Amino acid sequence: MDDVDLAWECTEAHLQQALALRLRSGTGQASRFTCLDCEEEIPPERRTAAVGCVRCLDCQTVIEKRRKP
C-alpha cells in the first residue's frame, strides 16, 4: 500500500465517522433558526420537517447540486 492509498483510507474513515456522528446526533439536535450560509431565517416548517437542519432549503439545494458529479 502506498502513501496515496493510506491517505485515502484515512480520509474515508474520518468521513464515515463524521457521517455516523451526524446521523446519530441529528435526531436529538435542534435545528438552527438562521441559515449557516446566508443567515436568513429557516422557516419553522423546515426546522420541523428536517430536525437538525443548519441551512435554508435554497442553500441546502445549492450544496447538494455541487456534490453531484
Residue 25 shares a structural domain with residue 48 = no
Radius of gyration of the chain (CA): 16
pLDDT at 23 over 90: no
- Tell me the three state secondary structure of residue 41: strand
> 42-59, pLDDT tens digit by residue?
999 998 888 888 999 999
Residue 24 shares a structural domain with residue 35 = no
Number of independent structural domains in the chain: 2
The per-residue pLDDT for 68 is: 72
The per-residue pLDDT for 43 is: 94
Residue 19 shares a structural domain with residue 42 = no
Residue 47 shares a structural domain with residue 67 = yes
Residue 42 shares a structural domain with residue 60 = yes
Residue 37 shares a structural domain with residue 66 = yes
> 26-46, pLDDT tens digit by residue?
555 667 899 999 999 999 999
Residue-number span of the structural domain to which 4 is assigned: 1-29
Residue 23 shares a structural domain with residue 44 = no
The closest alpha carbon to 38, from 58, 23, 53, belongs to 58
Measured CA to CA, the distance from residue 62 to residue 68 in angstroms comes to: 10
Q: What is the chain's mean pLDDT, rounded?
A: 83
